Structure 1
């Protein structure tokens, strides 16, 4: 018998945890800062409704209908059309499993850097300067040790199953993440320069709203923010009991994910302006520094300038990022684990240990051969695998899945479902294809 979520709130927190990752904490604020502040936020909210929520609903529906891992789910739901489409579904399912493993490999390395930064600030606050120097200094040994620590955290949770592992820890980690985020916002708001950041974030530049670049950026961020395209949401959907109504659950997950992204903007953008008030350089040309340099250079420099209080602030901030990373890795890890359990004669413990070993090996390889491999793996997963998988999900629900497709059946009887069905069938694939082509070019 397959494991399942025990409660509705447990599923919402776990699915939202899957969606809430580093892209919310650093990706969304960076995009907002460089695309008109609240103008980007307004367009982003519209795009969430038009593209991201339908994509999330689609992936959850595929998993819920098949009650299986992505390989079996996509193969089964595609085979009602022809053997060729069934083979295409199976191939995409395998790409989901491979993509999940690759994403886990680089994501655990990034998480290791987060842990290193957090430990550095904690050790500084505790006046343990020699250890702080070790965690602060980048080295292969440090990265490998902390990568293995984070792999242990991830698989220590998923090895216990859905109810006792993923659901239980999601109910603990998600409230902690929100409390940390709000606490950091409150403190940053007291510092000189923060008010300028709030103004830049919350007052829209309406001229920017009509930029094609803003629209594509908002679509890409909304789609990637909800963790769609690697089968994690499909697996979570498969762990919902038959007959579960997915509509409200989808909106709840999307609302919580969007709320955290909005709150992250209330933290990061004012923090950038605080850094500017402290004399730090936070711009590249006319744009604010974003993502990697923001997280690993600008903000740590700001925290260092704030003395002992800054050390605790830095620890809290990187603890926040580490929790966001962990809630994402436990969801993504379930994709290859579920595949292994359902297609090979192994139990959950054996599958988790095998996948953990694979992730560790690939992750260590990325550490050792960082320059030639890391950016290639990240680019493949985020710019190719995610949008391609999402596009295929829309094709499955709109064109290939015929028998037992509840949405297709309802579309014959009610206008609202007919409009939704054609939205998923035509509008969403075209919008996602636009994002895919724009990113590829």
Structure 2
């Protein structure tokens, strides 16, 4: 081994497989599990939706989770480095994922800040009974009407100061590193999240009208299964729910030890995530059943998703339920914990990529990455226009960011680079649950078809009608313009040289994976170009 290798810094690692599993579950279990899945399931046929949901989980979610694990663990790097080690031309895919995570981090943090404030508000029912809608939009967010030209960058203190606090906490966790920061945070927060949410569900089940809510949630509408949109909705939700295809699981799996059971870990993460979603559906619809009874209407009129569910519907439940303050503290506290565990995973994609690219230490990289993102987050989402920017950015980065990069990645890896056999072999050498030709068929054929269908559908929907009724200039900046900028910046970042001190050049931990395999520095940049034998997955 070259002498320079001995000077390299050994790559960070999770303390154990269990810590990795907790961290991966923490990333997967986020805001969408709590406020999106219940409504998606209800709209998709109630109990009947579990059929397309399970099909999507087994044929797309879990296979793509294995796909990410194999890339990160086999090529032992952040998303850009892992794709580069696979093939030099694939590096922009990694940076595309990194930039998506930058965008998500900026607005994800503000939702955590909202939830933190509402945890406090719930203890005192600050909004006042019957005033939940106006309190959130007018009193709390002080929201302006963008569609009527109401763009204002006026600072909103009750949002800005909690957002600053969220970023301070997250930056401290990130600076402590993978084992002491991310690992320990998930070891504490995930059990707390589970206990709080189970307590919330139990309390919701004893509310008057809870049975009506559960009947609405679980009663199957079998006719919905004939609707292609329901199946597309199930697959779309699974892609986002498991945190696949935008660098998180590639990065997290790169911190695993050499002989970790990859597929076994993936199955635990996938089914734990789905279990939490179903639990969320039970708790949310039990509470909505109570709300419907209190308002003298049916569940269909109270069921909603996203921000409306969290910050309007649930405060209404808190205002009317006996022990409502406890329900509010448990619900919004769970949102805070779920949000933090997901945010640190999103931010880790960015920190790891820059740490690999530049060869810097953990603390320096964390500060250089996190502080600018935090400042952008505070500047953009502590203002009266924050909700409109958040809504537009989230819609476009999901449809034309995560979905698009997932589509391109599976096509490039499976059809252009022909790497699925090598990834299959790597999974099977280190896992109890073996994969074969069927896994390659799901990743290389079914996933591109489903992702392509979803992508084209989103393009047609957003081209045919301006999203959210927002003006064209607004969508050009925070929608289409952002989507194009991500791709351009990804290509530019891939052209920058790698530091001679980065893991791209000398990594003793990566060397362990390459016993009997050769690699050499690139003549132009001095970075590693994995040899054809390595790229094709010769056995280690």
> TM-score, length-normalised on structure 2?
0.74
* Alpha-carbon offset, residue 439 of structure 1: 2.6
Q: Among residues 209, 217, 237, which one is paired with 1:221 in the alignment?
A: 237
Match of 2:458 in 1: 439
Instruction: Find the residue that maps to 2:258 and give its secondary structure.
Output: coil
State the alpha-carbon separation in 2 of the partners of residues 409 and 70 from structure 1. Answer: 17
Offset of 1:280 from its aligned partner? 7.0
1:360 maps to what in 2?
374
Provide closer, same or farther for how the CA distance between residues 189 and 12 of structure 1 changes in structure 2, counting only shifts above 3 A.
Answer: same
Conserved? CA contact 2:60–2:442, under 8 Å: no
CA–CA separation in structure 2 for the residues paired with 1:271 and 1:221: 23
CA, structure 1 residues 375+201, in 2 after alignment: closer, same or farther (shift >3 Å)? Answer: closer
Aligned match of 2:172: 156
Where does residue 68 of structure 2 map in the other structure? Answer: 59
Are 2:2 and 1:2 aligned?
no
1:157-196 CA-to-partner distances (Å, cap 9, x unmatched) read 1211111111112111111111111111111111111001
Asked whether the equivalents of residues 17 and 328 of structure 1 are also in contact (C-alpha less than 8 Å), the reply is: yes
Deviation at 1:28, TM superposition (A): 0.3
Instruction: Please give the alpha-carbon distance, in whole angstroms, between the structure 1 residues aligned to 2:426 and 2:42.
Output: 44
Q: Distance in 1 between matches of 2:284 and 2:83?
A: 39
Residue 266 of structure 2: aligned partner: 250
Alpha-carbon distance in 2 for matches of 1:409, 1:145? 47
Counterpart in the other structure of 1:82? none
Query: Structure 1 99/5 Cα, relative in aligned 2: closer, same or farther at 3 Å?
Result: same
Between Structure 1 and Structure 2, how many residues are aligned? Answer: 422
Moved more, 101-110 or 238-247: 238-247
1:329 is aligned to 343
Structure 2 counterparts to residues 136-175 of structure 1, below 5 A: 137-138=140-141, 140-175=156-191
1:204 pairs, out of 205, 220, 224, with 220
Q: Deviations over 1:120-179 (max 9, x none)?
A: 113559xxxxxxx99973351121111111112222212111111111121111111111
The residue aligned with 1:21 is 30
Q: Distance in 2 between matches of 1:423 and 1:228?
A: 15
**How far does the alpha carbon of each residue in 1:177-223 deviate from its partner, in whole angstroms, 9 at most, with x for none?**
11111111111111111001112222322222222121111111111
Distance in 1 (CA, whole Å) between partners of 2:23 and 2:210 is: 32
Please identify, of 28-37 and 252-261, the stretch whose mean Cα deviation from structure 2 is larger: 28-37
Measured in 2, the distance between the counterparts of 1:429 and 1:198 equals 35
2:110·2:159 contact (CA, 8 Å) conserved in 1? Answer: yes
Cα gap change, 1:278 to 1:357, in 2 (>3 Å): same
Q: CA deviation at 1:78?
A: 3.0
Q: 357-366 or 108-117, which moves further after superposition?
A: 357-366
1:287 deviation in Å?
Answer: 8.2
- In structure 2, the CA distance between the partners of 1:346 and 1:173, relative to structure 1 (3 Å rule), is same
1:72 to 69, 76, 81: 81
CA RMSD of aligned residues (A): 2.5
Question: Does 2:421 correspond to 1:407?
Answer: no
Deviations 1:278-312 (A, max 9, x none): 1077877x7832222111111101101236x2112
Match of 1:118 in 2: 119
Find the aligned partners of 1:32 and 1:350 in 2 and give their Cα distance: 44
| Distance across 1 between alignment mates of 2:24 and 2:50 | 22
Match of 2:247?
A: 231
Unaligned runs of 5+ residues in structure 2 are 1-9, 127-134, 143-155, 429-433, 461-540
On the 8 A contact 2:289/2:299 being kept in 1, the answer is no
SS at match of 1:278: helix
Deviates more, 1:273-282 or 1:106-115: 273-282
Q: Secondary structure at the match of 2:36?
A: helix
Q: Which has the higher helix share?
A: 1
**Structure 2 counterparts to residues 268-283 of structure 1, below 5 A:** 268-279=284-295
Residue 68 of structure 1: SS of its match in structure 2?
Answer: coil
Structure-2 separation of matches of 1:287 and 1:214: 21
The SS at the match of 1:91 is helix
For normalisation by structure 1, the TM-score amounts to 0.89
Query: Any gaps of 5 or more consecutive residues in structure 1?
Result: 80-85, 126-132
Provide closer, same or farther for how the CA distance between residues 333 and 273 of structure 1 changes in structure 2, counting only shifts above 3 A.
same
1:405 is paired with a residue of what secondary structure?
A: helix
Q: Which residue pairs with 1:194 in the alignment?
A: 210
Q: Aligned partners of 2:124 and 2:11: how far apart in 1?
A: 43
